[in-house]
Amino acid sequence: MYPVVKLEKVTKIEKGKTILDDLSFEIEKGGVTALVGPNGAGKTTLLSILLGIRRPTRGNVTVAGRPPGHPEARVKIGAVFQEAPFIDYIKVREMIDLWRAFYRKPLTADALIEMAGLSDVADQYARRLSGGQKRRLEFALAMAGDPDILILDEPTNGMDDAAKTRFWEIVCRLGRSGRTVLFTAHSAEEAARWATRLIVLNAGRLVAVGEPSA
């Protein structure tokens, strides 16, 4: 069985600046892994490489046994980035149905709305949602294709404490069910509370890999 995510000596250089510096690590199937580090650590750049949006300057990367962006890898991934565009004048349920149409075997709209805690706003226009509600909608869209791998970039930004707790409880259940979750966080405390594994970056370099209790 291959690792779900594997990096071998990955370096990313942009405009003469080293963003990621010789990273090597693996993520096995299942569980919740937190990618922790301050602003500028390279977390978002790393996620964009895993999704095939950017390419490493050097090194090898595989996701689900394939190069990032490969069709067989892409269909297994759901992703939430820090700022996702919303279509004007489309309601929450309509937007979810639109995303579902991209997949062969999507989850039902009702299941996604319930999972993301959007039942009370399902018939509202997406652009009128609060910041926390928009994050939950982004999560529903990421789950539309019933992905094996979930990549989340600062997923709880804009959520209140109750919404954060509910969100992380859902994410932990997904990890226990066999899905592989990778999320970024500034807060080591939040990451250690919810993750089963931590990967710590600083200035593009790998600082530590291990369990929160280690």
Q: Does the structure show a pLDDT above 90 at 28?
A: yes
Q: Give domain status of residue 108, yes or no.
A: no
Domain range enclosing 209:
1-76+149-158+179-214
Q: Does the structure show a pLDDT above 60 at 131?
A: yes
Q: Give domain status of residue 64, yes or no.
A: yes
Cα 196 from chain centroid? 15
Residue 70 has phi, psi (to 5 degrees) of: -65, 140
Taking residues 40-56, what's their average pLDDT?
Answer: 95
Q: Give domain status of residue 16, yes or no.
A: yes
Q: Give domain status of residue 194, yes or no.
A: yes
**Count of domains observed in the chain:** 1
Helix (H) or strand (E) holding 20: strand 17-27
SS3 165: helix
CATH of the domain at 186: 3.40.50.300
> Which single residue is written with the structure tokens 């209790």?
213
Amino acid at 2: Y
Q: Give domain status of residue 210, yes or no.
A: yes
Distance, in Å, from the CA atom of 76 to the CA atom of 108, rounded to the nearest integer, reads 17
**% of the chain with per-residue pLDDT over 90:** 80
Helix (H) or strand (E) holding 166: helix 161-176
